[in-house]
């Protein structure tokens, strides 16, 4: 088996395992909306049922649309990730890692959707109870981190390509002026 698929299995497996273990603990040991302060005025462990996507996106949409969307999109996304991964070179480690993070996070949240019809969230960051960032979970962190790494890689690749094009253009101009 190629190394990139072993990396995918290892990272995605670790994310799904950690995500589901903590979610199961929260689900079985917390009452809905129960909160345990971890860092006073900044971070709580709070049991939330998220009907939407990451950070509650689409939570208020029509249930028939939301359910159909969230049950059909993750398998499509997983197939797309596998198709993209197929074309990635084995030495493109950061691309493989980022795709693996998104893959594992998608599976972690999809398991909740299939089991419960919603996702267990529990990481609750806030500032003195005045502002709450929407609660999230380990799978959400993996997805956001993976997408962030992919965006960074794309940005730096574009910067490198632009710099290389500029150097090549300058060299070509210099060569033309030397031959005339």
Question: Exactly one of 19, 112, 121, 124 is catalytic; which is it?
Answer: 121
Domain assignment of residue 147, given as a range: 3-161
Within a domain: 41: yes
Residue 161 binned pLDDT confidence (cut-offs 50, 70, 90): confident
Q: pLDDT of 88-131, one tens digit each?
A: 999 999 999 999 999 999 999 999 999 999 999 999 999 987 89
Greatest Cα pair distance in the chain: 81
pLDDT at site 177:
66
- Please say if 121 is a catalytic residue: yes
Question: How many separate domains does the chain show?
Answer: 1
Question: Exactly one of 19, 112, 124, 140 is catalytic; which is it?
Answer: 140
- Please say if 140 is a catalytic residue: yes
CA 92/CA 11 separation, integer angstroms = 15
Strand runs (DSSP E) across 10-161, as ranges? Answer: 35-39, 43-50, 119-127, 131-132
Within a domain: 178: no
Within a domain: 166: no
- Quote the tokens at residue 7: 């990396």
Q: pLDDT of 131-153, one tens digit each?
A: 989 999 999 999 999 999 999 99
Question: Which string of b and e fits 144-164 if b means at least 16 CB within 10 Å?
Answer: bbbbebbeeeeeeeeeeeeee
Within a domain: 175: no
């Amino acid at each position: 088996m190629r190394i990139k698929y072993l990396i995918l299995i290892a990272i995605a497996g670790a994310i799904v395992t950690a995500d589901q273990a903590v979610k199961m603990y929260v689900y079985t040991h917390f009452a809905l909306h129960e909160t345990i302060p971890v860092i006073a005025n900044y971070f709580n462990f709070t049991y939330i049922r998220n009907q939407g996507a990451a950070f509650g996106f689409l939570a208020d949409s029509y249930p028939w649309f939301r359910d159909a969307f969230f049950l059909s999109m993750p398998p499509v996304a997983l197939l797309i990730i596998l198709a993209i991964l197929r074309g990635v070179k084995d030495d493109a480690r950061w691309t493989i890692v980022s795709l693996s993070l998104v893959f594992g996070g998608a599976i972690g949240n999809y398991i909740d959707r299939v089991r419960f019809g919603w996702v267990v969230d529990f990481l609750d960051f806030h500032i003195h109870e005045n502002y709450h960032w929407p609660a999230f979970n380990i799978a959400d962190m993996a997805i956001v981190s993976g997408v962030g790494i992919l965006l960074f890689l794309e940005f730096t690749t574009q910067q490198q390509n632009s710099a290389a094009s500029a150097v090549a253009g300058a060299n070509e101009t210099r060569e033309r002026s030397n031959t005339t």
